[in-house]
A = this chain, B = another copy of it.
Amino acid sequence: MTDFTPKDPDFKDRVVENFALQTLMKTLGAQLVDIQPGKCEIVMAKRDDLCQQHGFLHAGITTTLADTAAGYAAFSLMPKGAEVLSTEFKINLLNPAEGKRFSARAEVLKPGRTLTVVRSDVWAEDETGQQTMIATMLASMICLLPR
């Protein structure tokens, strides 16, 4: 939608380091596969121990992927020394979360000094490589700077 100029030229390193601090990402086996100014993609393989009652990926895990990608899409545009936190998000679940691999792709809609609004969609990929959008999120990320 828009090209964003990062305030910190080392934003990629900063995102990679920060992602490595999230113990949940390791627990889920989630990986950061792309980070660009205002954009982020995170992928995770299907796992049978992360499901809801029908054997689909639990909506909470779909949300976790979307939220994390949204956070780093926002974080990529924040200045060095900033911290990022989710203040709120809303997700619509569009299709059953079935597939062998899930991918959350986030894109900043509006960067801000304090709040950054991000859209984050989650896609499921089946055995044949076909992808279906299973969820869409709107999230607000806050930038916290040391005072």
CB pair A86 B94 closer than 8 Å? no
CB closest chain-B residue, reference A121: B109
Does A50 sit within 8 A of B, measured CB to CB? yes
A94 / chain B contacts, CB cutoff of 8 Å:
109-110, 117
How many chain A residues touch B (Cβ–Cβ < 8 Å)?
47
CB closest chain-B residue, reference A96: B85
Complex Cα distance A93/B84, Å? 13
Of A3-11, A32-40, A59-67, the one with at least 4 CB within 8 A of chain B: A59-67
A80 / chain B contacts, CB cutoff of 8 Å:
none
CB pair A61 B59 closer than 8 Å? no
Contacts A22-B51, A58-B68, A64-B64 supplied; 8 other A-B pairs, CB < 8 Å? A21-B54, A60-B63, A87-B140, A88-B140, A89-B90, A92-B109, A94-B117, A115-B115
